[in-house]
Amino acid sequence: MRKFLTLVLTLLPIAMFAEDYIISGVVVDSKDKTALPFVTVRLMKADSSFITGVNTTEAGTFTVNAKKAGKFILKFSSIGYNPVFRNVTLSKAAPQVKLDNVALVSNDIMVQAATVKTRLAKLEMRNDTFIYNVAAYRVPEGATLEALIDKLPGAVVDDDGGITINGKTVSEIRVDGKDFFKGDTKVAMKNMPVSLINRVKAYDMQSDYTQQTGIDDGNEKTVLDLEMKKKLKSAWSSNVDLAYGNHDRYSGNLFANRFTDNSRFTFYGSMNNVGDRRFRGGGPGFRRGNNGLTANKSFGLDYFWNNGKKEREAGFFQIGGNVRYGYSYTDALSRSNSETFLNAGSSSSFNNDNSHSFSRNSNVNVELNLRWNPDTMTSVYVRPDFKHQESRSISDRLSATFNDNPYDRTDNPLDSMFFSNHSMNVAPVLSAIAVNRNKRLSKSSSNEDEYEVDLGITRKLNNKGRSISLDGGFEYSKNRSRSFSISDIYYFQRSTNNEVYSNQYSTSPSKNWNYNARLSYSEPLMKKLFLQTSYNFRYRYSDSNRSLYQLDSLQGWGLGNPHAFGMLPQGDSLNMALNIENSRYATYKDYIHTVNIGLRYVNDDFNLSAGVRLQPQNTKLDYKKNQLDTVVTRNVFNISPDVRLRWNMDKFSRLELRYRGSSSQPSMTDLLDVTDNSDPLYITKGNPGLKPSWTNTFNLHYNTYIQERQQSFAGDMSFRQVSNSISNAVTYDPQSGVRTTRPENINGNWSADGWFMFNTSMGADNMFFLGTDVNARYSHSVGFISTGNSDSEKNLMKTLTLGDRLRFSYRTDFLEAGLNGSINYDHSRSNLQALSNLDTYTFAYGGNLQINTTWNMTISTDMAMNSRRGFNDRSMNTNELVWNAQISQSFLAGNAATLSLQLFDILHQQSNITRSINAQMRRDSWSNGINSYFMVHFLYKLNLFGGGMGKMKQGGGNDRRGDNRRGGSSGRMGGGRG
């Protein structure tokens, strides 16, 4: 903190006495007058000696700072255009000059020369922006964004469709800087054709609040921004993809898009029973199949329109939003085995679990976004949203608990435990170590509606940074859920009451209200130094009511009852079955005041901010359960300091440091001394003595790019430490297998993470590419464990995770061949249970090949050996050779139609296995999936220009020759967001 303060005090005198000599303007294309981003602007003396340089922004604008008055020359240059020179004079009388639009003239000869000289870089960097040139990647014909992202250096697409890029989780995908199905990244990943995209940019985007007010709230999110191909402007681009395969697999997709400078309309529709799986064409990383057999249906539309005025111009108006519907049906089988670590001197507890479930989920989302600038100093926005969700599920589950590892005695523990319906007919090999077995049937349903409105107004009070804003919102949600469950538990170690049968029904309706209002103010203290303050008031109200009915307490509803599962007793009988001990009613009222105070210093290359959040909070809980009827009031005061430094060392390099502290409070129900034993095998208790926890987070990030070598480096280190962390202390009863949990404060939880990425192009014409992503994580995790009546002991689990993903590829105009591999190693050590020490490896190695022929046939294939080692269940230590392939033939004018054959897991080797571990337990899981099948696809692409059908060479990752080299408007040097 002392160093940061010293740096601020050093820079302030410079900020106070420096004179402003500024040249600004806009660079455009001479033909269509469109703004040209990333043009190099060089400021030179009258003798042509270089002074400084900048790049134009996405909007084509530039600002150059000169240190003193004088006569200067500006040079504007970009690949594919003739350079342009402008003479400029700055004086004390005229320290700021705004040039007329600078028009660059296209040079076709230069384009051709550039095409010969160098191949387009796969990755470029501009300060905080990673830029991926799509034409430099080969993806299978008809591929969607998912296949492209999987090939990007630094990007990881997990098995659930989540995206991590450069060590950060992607929360949004945007198109040309605008929202695109805001908050739902899977729509673009599964439906956006690669052939429409020119470049992909990854950067940290400021929150909506920061963009409106200029006050940095620290809530940035990592986004992917898709830059569409300019040659498709004003054209309707549509793709229809229909497919059918063996095992009655089917898939149908429709995507239509049209965009102009001030509008965009997108529609998609999709239905399939392959879990939304698409052919990706290979990539590094251990890959599992889908979880469960899933059928999906979805459709949606996204749009925006503005009146053509600039965003800061008076009268600017923009409307946008989206509507989407989704439905899924899943048939899931799962098998897991887990080990719970117990006190020193005690053996672990082992559990095996098999389940079969069917689930249906549907949702509707409607979002609207309105923005209006009544004048150049005022901005107004309104954002209403509506969401509706429904879910239904039914599952059948078998589980058993042991006091020793059952795999030391048999390969199929549950088969031995349930080979007979009679509880005593258990295989002798397991009878000595069996603790309990549970046969459970459950069924649930829920419906939820959510309404939300956010609105705000920002007013600039001058052009030096003084502004005031007022924003607020309202949110209301209503949930209606109910569930049925039947469980038949047999305890092997008990002398009496060995068998417990439970037939339960519960309802859990809830309602939530949320109101908030915020006033923000920014005051320039001196040049480039700002005081930023805000006050926010939030009121939250929550009403929840859980009614639990013990149906087996009624005559004729016990073990062996004739009633169909899901039926309810008639009349007053249901009320007679109310389980008063475990039913509850609770209402929360939260009054939260938040004050933010911060200082921010900003110049062209340097951004330093320091602030603190003060949050007094009053919470009132009205709680009724059994004989307890109480009102609890709590007053707390949370403090969250935040310090951040961003330094753009040059246009290719960036350094960022950040520290953040935060306090958090235990939930009010955790503070109540109540017990919930509605699940006889898992009992929970409250703890009135819980204290608030404090979290420290440090982060360091650096990235750079060497343009002439097409080399990129990036690294990230972070550290997180929690004081008074809230951990569930688990007490295990070895006679029954019952686990009783109680939240406790504990110290000693911390973790450290590191990530490094290096990518480079090599060889003549940069035909070779080498990339690696290295990650490391060390976790120091503590938790409480006790057995029977013994005192709780602190278990320390030290876990080291190391991983690397390696890519090597060779590409020409007609071929791309790649080798890739990955390894992940988990090393865990416990201070209480040496037998729980684990060393597991998952590693994969293989290659991919894509050949584009002169007769418009494309052959794509990938093969990888996926291996696992160190799992307790020996059947999970596998080698799986997974081979996928696609052959496609394009035909008709402009290759508008494509017929393809896709084959997945040709050798029938792929499976779905995962491992998780913490201070208290480890779990290994297997699930079924849609892995091995083939499909025949028919893809048709239609592009309509100005109402007529146009021909468009299919570009993006599928360009067959030449387009992945520099040249033309799509090959200009990339840049940041500006």
Number of folded domains that form the chain: 2
**Domain for residue 927, yes or no?**
no
**Domain for residue 358, yes or no?**
yes
**Domain for residue 272, yes or no?**
no
Q: CATH number of the domain at 30, please.
A: 2.60.40.10
SS (H, E, C) 515-583: EEEEEEEEEEEECCEEEEEEEEEEEEEEEEEEEEEEHHHCCCCCCCCCCCCCCCCCCCHHHHCECCCCC
**Domain for residue 919, yes or no?**
no
The alpha carbon dihedral of 342, 344, 348, 349 has a sign of: negative
Contact 504, 570 (CB under 8 A): no
The alpha carbon dihedral of 157, 922, 743, 661 has a sign of: negative
Q: Which residues of 465-484 are buried (b: 16+ CB within 10 A; e: fewer)?
A: bbbebebbbebebebebbbb
**288 Cβ neighbours under 8 A, 6+ residues apart:** 159, 910, 911, 912, 913, 914, 929
Q: Which amino acid is at 89?
A: T
Q: What is the pLDDT of residue 527?
A: 83
Contact 205, 171 (CB under 8 A): no
Q: Phi, psi (5° rounding) for residue 543?
A: -130, 115
**Domain for residue 383, yes or no?**
yes
**766 Cβ neighbours under 8 A, 6+ residues apart:** 118, 119, 121, 710
d(CA 866, CA 360): 32
Task: Tell me the pLDDT tens digit for each residue of 378-411.
Answer: 999 999 999 999 999 999 999 999 988 888 888 8
Which element (helix H / strand E) includes 137? none
**Domain for residue 34, yes or no?**
yes
Q: Among residues 591, 658, 643, 637, which one has the least CA distance to residue 612?
A: 643
**Domain limits for position 86:** 20-110
Residue at which a domain ends, from 90, 110, 130: 110
**Domain for residue 552, yes or no?**
yes
Q: What is the pLDDT of residue 220?
A: 80
Low-confidence ranges of the chain (pLDDT < 70): 1-20, 108-119, 159-160, 213-214, 216-218, 281-290, 343-347, 420-425, 788-791, 833-836, 872-873, 918-919, 945-978
Q: What is the pLDDT of residue 551?
A: 94
**594 Cβ neighbours under 8 A, 6+ residues apart:** 534, 535, 536, 537, 538, 613, 614, 615
Q: Which residues of 289-304 are buried (b: 16+ CB within 10 A; e: fewer)?
A: bbbbbbbbbbbbebeb
Q: What is the pLDDT of residue 949?
A: 44
**Domain for residue 382, yes or no?**
yes
Question: What's the DSSP call for residue 896?
Answer: -
Task: Tell me the pLDDT tens digit for each residue of 216-245.
Answer: 666 788 899 999 988 888 888 899 999 999
Q: Phi, psi (5° rounding) for residue 319?
A: -130, 140
Q: Among residues 356, 336, 413, 415, which one has the least CA distance to residue 913?
A: 336
Contact 534, 215 (CB under 8 A): yes
Q: How many CA atoms lie within 13 A of 765 on its CB side?
A: 15
Q: What is the pLDDT of residue 589?
A: 94
Q: What is the pLDDT of residue 514?
A: 97
